[in-house]
Amino acid sequence: MRLVLVNPSFQTRVRRIAQTSVGPPLGLAYLAAAVRAKGFEVRVVDANVFGLSEARAAAAAFDLQPDVVGITAATPTIARAGEIAGHLKALDPGITTIVGGPHATALPARTLAEFPAVDIVARGEAEGSLPALLAALDRGASRRALTDVPGFVLREEGGSVVDTGAAARLDCLDRLPLPARDLLPMRRYRTVDSDRFTTMLAMRGCPCSCVYCYVPELFGRRMRYRSPAAVVAEMDEVHARHGVTLVSFVDDTFTTRREWVEEFSDHAQTSGVARRVRWTCLTRADMVDRALLAAMRRAGCLRIEFGIESASAAGVAFLDKGQSEEKVLAAFRDARAVGLSTMGFLILNIPGETEADIVSSFELARRADPDFLQVSFLTPYPGTALRAEAERRGWITTDDWSRYLFLRDIVLDHGGLPPAKLERIYSQQMRRFYLRPRTAIKFGRLVLGGRSELRPLMRTVMLGLAGLLAGQSEGDRREP
């Protein structure tokens, strides 16, 4: 029984917005390791890092002679996953096709209905359920017999759709084998700070209730942590085996438990890993203080990223973010004070916000003064509270899933500012933020201070400048 896992291509659609980071498909690497640990053959095709079309991705997977092909997909790539499955079925109708990821987990039955070449949807965390499914397939189990394996929604031979129930949550993350990075082209991944980097996961779950986020539904609201020692050991392993010098933690709220961060920071520093591998993370502005940030900096942290989101009372209330302007400003101030680079996030097209509200949000971002600013448009992803509210109020403008790119497209119409005006405000305010003399000074300090490598930073800067100077019209931003 041979499994091939496929990551569809999406990078070309966001590169124009200076999104030059290309990270490994960490979820697939975890699945590959779990499947391999149970004795199955597994390979990975990362179509994203090589820019493969759906037909070429399917051909690359087919050349590996799979019995089963698993394809991961977020909402913007679900149609691409379905197309890859279609190409595979055309090459060999006997291949079993599985699609997983947040979109399929949120809409399993609809995914099967929309993409007839997909046989099975994997729901949620599949490190435990996928090996069990492969074992059943290896025994020659019928499609009906597969209904005894929890964690899937599948189409039976007669065409009926069956939900096998939720798979059990993985309570002890330290029991999972390390991601199978040996199956990935590790030298191809890069970020704005380094050309030798990887992503890493230290915990799963999120206790927060932001209306636009699906993470609590996908991983649960209860936080599950890996041990700090295990995380540090993985950092050492990726450095020794793959030459990685920068780790980007993809956890949504890295500092939810202060004691964990302090213990992790101590391990990284005393083991010497902090001198070999540096790292970045994302968290909330109201979950840090200067002492904690200083400990993280000593442990090798280069940059910390905070959501600013909105400065208006209407925006903060709608997003249910629950953090104050004072906390936002204090977090950026404290991060700078201890020598950390920073990134901030804003969200536009929030119901109830006026043009003046949006301008005030950009003003807050300038006062916070992050080194990098990323701006997105509020997007009603399936499974979120925002999606439910938008459907109830008739705000959804399209279910063309490929347009659900929060960095590019506006798919939510709540009667506020028209998209063309939002685009103009976005372009004007981003130019005001980045086209300042202090931006060049800050970027120079990042390189001179060893917090970013020159080549990857300049690659992002040049692409960003080209977009800003061109005005990033709506038409340009929507080009593939």
pLDDT tens digits for 285-306?
A: 999 999 999 999 999 999 999 9
Over residues 147-167, the mean pLDDT reads: 90
Amino acid at 478: R
Report d(CA 15, CA 417) in Å as an integer: 26
Report d(CA 95, CA 278) in Å as an integer: 42
What the chain holds in terms of domains, given with CATH numbers, is 2-155 (3.40.50.2300), 191-473 (3.80.30.20)
Which of 142, 34, 119, 33 is CA-nearest to residue 71?
Answer: 119
**319-342 pLDDT per residue, tens:** 987 788 999 999 999 999 999 999
pLDDT value at residue 108: 97
- Is residue 58 very low, low, confident or very high in pLDDT (cuts 50, 70, 90)? very high
pLDDT value at residue 20: 64
Over residues 153-180, the mean pLDDT reads: 91
Q: Which region among 74-78, 95-99, 370-374, 437-441 has the lowest average model confidence (pLDDT)?
A: 437-441
- Is residue 479 very low, low, confident or very high in pLDDT (cuts 50, 70, 90)? very low
Q: Kindly report the backbone phi and psi dihedral angles of residue 248, in degrees, each rounded to the nearest multiple of 5, phi listed first.
A: -105, 110
**234-282 pLDDT per residue, tens:** 999 999 999 999 999 999 899 999 999 999 999 999 999 999 999 999 9
What percent of the chain stands above pLDDT 70?
A: 96
pLDDT value at residue 329: 97
For β-strands 41-46 and 246-249, DSSP reports them as unpaired
pLDDT value at residue 19: 60
Task: Name the strands in the sheet holding 341-348, side by side, starting at the edge strand that comes first in the sequence.
Answer: 197-200, 246-249, 278-283, 301-309, 341-348, 372-377
Taking phi over 0 as left and psi of -120 to 50 as alpha, with beta for the rest, 243 belongs to left
Report d(CA 210, CA 347) in Å as an integer: 12
Over residues 413-427, the mean pLDDT reads: 94
- Backbone CA torsion sign across 31, 37, 39, 42: positive
pLDDT value at residue 465: 72
pLDDT exceeds cutoff 90 at 3: yes
Residue 302 CB partners (closer than 8 Å, separation 6+): 193, 246, 278, 279, 280, 340, 341, 451, 452
Displacement of CA 435 from its chain's centroid (Å): 28
413 beta partners: none
The full length of the chain comes to: 480
Burial readout 215-236 (b: 16 or more C-beta within 10 A, e: otherwise): bbbbbbeebebbbbebbbebbb
Which of 234, 224, 188, 181 is CA-nearest to residue 33?
Answer: 181
Angle at 307 between CA 305 and CA 313, to 5 degrees: 160
- Backbone CA torsion sign across 370, 372, 377, 382: negative
pLDDT exceeds cutoff 60 at 472: no
**10-33 pLDDT per residue, tens:** 887 765 544 668 899 999 999 999
Over residues 401-419, the mean pLDDT reads: 93
Which of 470, 444, 472 is CA-nearest to residue 458?
Answer: 444
pLDDT value at residue 14: 65
Over residues 197-207, the mean pLDDT reads: 93
Q: Are 44 and 28 in contact (CB under 8 A)?
A: yes
- Is residue 468 very low, low, confident or very high in pLDDT (cuts 50, 70, 90)? confident
- Is residue 444 very low, low, confident or very high in pLDDT (cuts 50, 70, 90)? confident
Amino acid at 125: E
Q: Which region among 100-114, 317-331, 345-359, 391-405 has the lowest average model confidence (pLDDT)?
A: 317-331
pLDDT value at residue 461: 72
Tokens 């330290």 belong to 174
Greater confidence (230 vs 323) lies with 230
**352-394 pLDDT per residue, tens:** 999 999 999 999 999 999 999 999 999 999 999 999 999 999 9
Mean per-residue pLDDT over the chain, rounded: 91
Which tokens in the block code for residue 156? 């039976």
